[in-house]
Amino acid sequence: MDIQGWTFLLVGLSFTLYIGIAIWSRARTTGDFYVAGKGVHPVANGLATAADWMSAASFISMAGIIAFAGMGGSVYLIGWTGGYVLLALLLAPYLRKFGKYTVPDFVGDRYASQTARVVAVLCALFVSFTYVAGQMRGVGIVFSRFLEVDITLGVIIGMGLVFIYAVIGGMKGITYTQVAQYCVLIFAFMVPAIFLSIMATGHPLPQTGLGAELEGGGGLLQKLDQLHTDLGFSQYTEYGDNMFNIVCITAALMLGTAGLPHVIVRFYTVKRVRDARSSAGWALLFIAILYTTAPAIAVFARTNLIESVHKTSYTEVPAWFSTWEDSGLLAWHDRNNDGVITYAPGKLTAGRPVFATTETGTPLRGSHGERLLSTDTLVPGDNELYVDRDIMVLANPEIAGLPDWVVALVAAGGLAAALSTAAGLLMVISSAVSHDLIKRTLVPTISERGELRVARIAAGVAVVCAGLLGIFPPDYVAAVVAFAFGLAASSFFPVILLGIFWKRFNAAGAISGMLVGLCFTATYIVYFKFVNPAANVPTNWLFGVSPEGIGVIGMVLNLAVGVPMALLTKPPSAEVQALVESIRIPGD
């Protein structure tokens, strides 16, 4: 059986499994639909949270991002895992004790304000929609790359699948499919990683292999630092400058992680407060398996790339080079006409490379057989190589010469990562509409069955919208990640935190703080990412903080406005204060 056959088989089997689970765990009540009947075991919830959290980007792109950023990539590792400590200690147990269905539910009840509830609904919808667009796109890309199916058809297949288990199963269906998806994705991530680690270091465990002593002394990191120095790159194990910006980005990712509604809502699904605490620990443990492996893959792949390509004649490079050149993820332009690939700091092209073709679309080839680039996107410099960072995970099995079924496994894993995150986000969208907007704001008299029907319809509509965003992606999908985290950090996180830990905090403080934090962060990101991207350079940044880290400043502003506003207005009512006291203790 060839790669395609294996891919169809493994992807087909995994999809059948997900649908089977959805039918088995069909939701019958709104409680089932929104929070899986609050009966999920903490370990199962940890697995589901890990799959919910790790998206197509974590699975496919993160190792590649780290491989190219080196030490600078640590912001993602520390930020995206450190946020779970905040979740476990500051948010999850109290929100579980509160025990309603959504994040806007908490905001609305705690501040006894419909305005606050609606602002929270809008934030939740915005954050989730921007995020889900990227996931559906990820599904399409995996399909098209591995199964040679059109991206649109890939997205439609993904939509159909999510539709079945989100609409039928609700949170209950999603929880148990996410458990299965975690198992698929972690297996698919670890198998190639272990093979690579054995090849590079002789150790089966990538985490220890990375720090192992190699034959001839020194470790892989010392070797890579030396390669970097030889090629003129900065050291792999050292940060660049502007540590303040690095601190801000890390903090924004942590606060954003803790404030993302699709992650928070997972902690509503367990039985007890102490299960909420422990399932945050399980979730981080399961996430840590992938997050401590990714930096090892990054180093293996980066070393391998430099050693097998740099100063190698094009006619002698390994076969995978031309395969990925054909798919446009690798490119070489022979600047000095010596037939040898030179890898050096600096870009080859502005943006993605554009390949030269004949009028009929046949690729043009140079004298060594390489694909020629259209010369107008080239930028001056010495570097002759373009490497797409996604290649680091996607091409690994091939580079390592692993069997076809491992390549197919990576496809199934990428799909599991994208689908599980998409489903979690769709639940947030559906419950924000059916529960917070319809039931709690517009039609409070709606029956349980009516609400369940609205929830299913909302989930269905959200799937279709997400699919359309995946088929016609707005060209800012990459830029919106900063958005989702910045907004969650500057709006949700402080409002929920103060709602739990400061009884005196009231609606006036919450609403003014959220609006100020949100407007500031959104304006800053929109200006640098969309209005004037050319100005997005360190000298123009406020305090040297990039748009990725600005959510922290937004949160400080939120507090700077919200706290005095709360002190100048009336304290919350006795009922609200009693609510706050009750969520601080686990028992009744």
Partner 1 sequence: MKHDTPRPDANAHFRANLKLIAVLLSIWVFVAFGCGILLAPWLNQWNLPGTTFPLGFWFAQQGSIYIFVLLILVYVRAMRRIDNRYGVSED
Residues engaged in binding partner 1 (CB under 8 A): 66, 71, 73-74, 77-78, 81-82, 84-85, 88-90, 93, 207-208, 210-214, 218-222, 237-239, 243, 246-247, 250-251, 254, 272-274, 277-278, 280-281, 284-285, 288, 291-292, 295, 581, 584-587
| Smallest distance, partner 1 to C-beta of residue 173, A | 27
Query: Which CB sits closer to partner 1, 80 or 332?
Result: 80
Based on its alpha-carbon atoms, the radius of gyration of the chain, rounded to whole angstroms, reads 25
Distance from C-alpha of 241 to C-alpha of 437, rounded to nearest angstrom: 46
**108 vs 494, which CB is nearer to partner 1?**
494
Which of 22, 50, 55 lies closest to 36, judged by CA? 22
Query: 4 vs 292, which CB is nearer to partner 1?
Result: 292
The helix or strand, by DSSP H or E, that contains position 387, with its residue range, turns out to be strand 385-387
Cβ proximity to partner 1: between 89 and 537 the closer is 89
Q: How far is the CB of 470 from partner 1 (least distance, A)?
A: 31
Identity of the residue, 15 or 493, whose beta carbon is nearer to partner 1 in the bound complex = 493
Who's near 546: CB < 8 A, 6+ residues apart? 245, 248, 249, 528, 536, 538
State the minimum distance, in angstroms, from the CB of residue 83 to partner 1: 9
Tell me what percent of the chain is helix, strand and coil, each rounded to the nearest 5.
Answer: 75, 5, 25
d(CA 551, CA 483): 9
Residue 213 or 575: the one with the smaller Cβ distance to partner 1 is 213
Query: Please, how many CA atoms are within 13 Å of residue 58, restricted to the half-sphere of its CB?
Result: 30
The nearest distance, CB 86 to partner 1, in angstroms, is 8
Say which residues have a Cβ less than 8 Å from residue 540's Cβ, sequence separation at least 6.
528
Query: For 300-368, what is the HEC assignment?
Result: HHHHHHHHHHCCEEHHHCCHHHHHHHHCCCEEECCCCCCCEECCCCCCCECCCCCECECCCCCECECCC
Closest separation between CB of residue 82 and partner 1, Å?
A: 5
d(CA 562, CA 570): 13
Query: CB of residue 576 vs partner 1: minimum separation in angstroms?
Result: 16
Name the residue nearer to partner 1 (CB basis): 189 or 291: 291
Nearest to 68 by CA among 393, 478, 340: 393
CA dihedral 464, 470, 471, 472 (to 10 degrees): 110
In the complex, what is the shortest distance from the CB of residue 142 to partner 1, in angstroms, rounded to a whole number?
26
Which residue, 269 or 512, has its beta carbon nearer to partner 1?
269
Query: Minimum Å distance from CB 239 to partner 1?
Result: 6
Q: Nearest distance from residue 501's CB to partner 1, in Å?
A: 8
Alpha-carbon distance values, 313 to 224, 279, 339 (Å): 21, 52, 6
CA 479 from centre of chain: 12
347 vs 503, which CB is nearer to partner 1? 503
